[in-house]
Structure 1
Amino acid sequence: MHHSAAHTGSHSRIQHASVSTRSTHRGTRVASSRHHAHVIQCVAYAKTASDVMLRGNARDWWHNAAGVYDRGQAPEAGSVLNFRGTRRMPLGHVAVVRNVIDNRTITIDQSHWAQAGVSRNVAVIDVSPNNDWSAVRVALNSGSGNYGSIYPTYGFIYPRHEGSGPSLRQTVMTAWDKKATATQLAQAPATATPAAAEQEAAAETAAAPQNDGAVSFGSEE
């Protein structure tokens, strides 16, 4: 007897339940069940949650997007934030930009960060010295307002063909950013260069592990 896959409240985990039977010494057949959970990989989720369709592991998306999609250093709703591979996160990571809050803060939707399922509306802050989003911190799941380690990124992959120019939304957001006040909704930590970000990530590998996304696996499976 086999039960079809059942979904939990969110689509982050797909539960597969199978039921098997066995005979006891008294001849009574006893049913036992096993549950297996599968977490959606960040690459698979990004493909379904955005209009960016690329092959390869997350760390390969930036280079694979060349000649196909526009890329840049400015966040835009609907774009894909592409994390570089590090020692703690060798396959990289991709996340879909949900909203641009200000020139240093965005929210993202993602999957398989810190071995979790789909997480939505997660705050990310830019801590790069040049405000080019080459180094970021992701909010922790605790809801405490704290942020995790610094991670280097390539930038943003936009869901439009290369050379097609900015969308109307991006033009509006650029104009808005120019008028934005210095007040930010999230207090950004001290800035850091991408090289420093990789060094920090490598250093923390030898230290006690933290549940801040270091074990994300950006494979395309």
Structure 2
Amino acid sequence: MRSTLISLSVLTSLLMSPAAAKVPGYVGECVPFARAISGIDIHGDAWRWWQLAKGKYQRGHRPKKGAVIVFAKSPQLRVGHVAVVSRVIDSRVVMVTHANWSRIHGARGHVEQDVTLTDVSRAHDWSLVRVWFRRSHGLGTTSYRVTGFIYGKSAASPKLTGAHPDYVGSLIDVYAG
């Protein structure tokens, strides 16, 4: 009971104060994390964010720092997934910060900062991506459908990106792999 109250207290403070979010300490689902770190106030399953953002936030198909990328629902992602763009590297490569993707120390829910994500769509329209995967230490082999990017009204949390992102490694993963 006490740990549940502490967890709820930590999550509440994270949600109430996105700019002060302690990224490395968060453990939980992708949706509350993306909402807190991006400032985009949408609730519901990740795959629904694209439709729920209509009329409330600008949406598009080009990555921008602080934008939320919405992964479509699929057999691998039963409720979709959302991540926040932490850096745009080039027209086909970005880094994202997200929660609940890779297992870390055997558990899901942890935050990963500045994770490489690449556009693998034939039209170069960010409708299909691959994501760096911790277990393989490189881009995963699965391609995921993306519905688009949601652009926030205010600045994203300064905790969105790490102090020393690996730009070179990101590009090597994409173009040499």
- TM-score norm. by structure 1 comes to 0.57
Give the corresponding residue for 1:207.
none
- Answer yes or no: is 1:138 the counterpart of 2:147: no
Unaligned runs of 5+ in 2: 11-22, 103-107, 155-170
Identity %: 32
Kindly provide the CA deviation profile for residues 170-189 of structure 1, in whole angstroms up to 9, marking residues without a partner as x.
Answer: xxxxxxxxxxxxxx554359
How many matched pairs? Answer: 142
- Answer yes or no: is 1:43 the counterpart of 2:36: no
Q: In 2, are the aligned partners of 1:127 and 1:188 still within 8 Å (CA)?
A: no
Give the corresponding residue for 1:93.
81
Give the secondary structure class of the aligned counterpart of 1:113: coil
Deviation at 1:147, TM superposition (A): 2.4
Pick aligned residue for 1:119 from 96, 109, 112: 112
Kindly provide the CA deviation profile for residues 59-117 of structure 1, in whole angstroms up to 9, marking residues without a partner as x.
Answer: 11000000011111100000000000001211000000000000110000100114241
Over alpha carbons, which structure has the higher Rg?
Answer: 1
Q: In 1, are the aligned partners of 2:65 and 2:87 still within 8 Å (CA)?
A: yes
Give the corresponding residue for 1:105.
93
Pick aligned residue for 1:10 from 2, 24, 31: 24
Letter in 2 for 1:80: V
Q: Relative to 1, partners in 2 of residues 1:185 and 1:160: Cα closer, same or farther, differing over 3 Å?
A: farther
Give the corresponding residue for 1:60.
48
Q: In 2, are the aligned partners of 1:139 and 1:148 still within 8 Å (CA)?
A: no
Q: Distance in 1 between matches of 2:175 and 2:109?
A: 24
Letter in 1 for 2:26: S
Q: Which 4+ runs in 1 deviate beyond 3 A?
A: 2-7
Give the secondary structure class of the aligned counterpart of 2:36: helix
Q: Distance in 2 between matches of 1:146 and 1:58?
A: 22
Give the secondary structure class of the aligned counterpart of 2:143: strand
Kindly provide the CA deviation profile for residues 7-54 of structure 1, in whole angstroms up to 9, marking residues without a partner as x.
Answer: 9x93133xxxxxxxxxxxxxxxxxxxxxxxxxx110000011102111
Deviation at 1:56, TM superposition (A): 1.3
Unaligned runs of 5+ in 1: 14-39, 162-183, 190-221
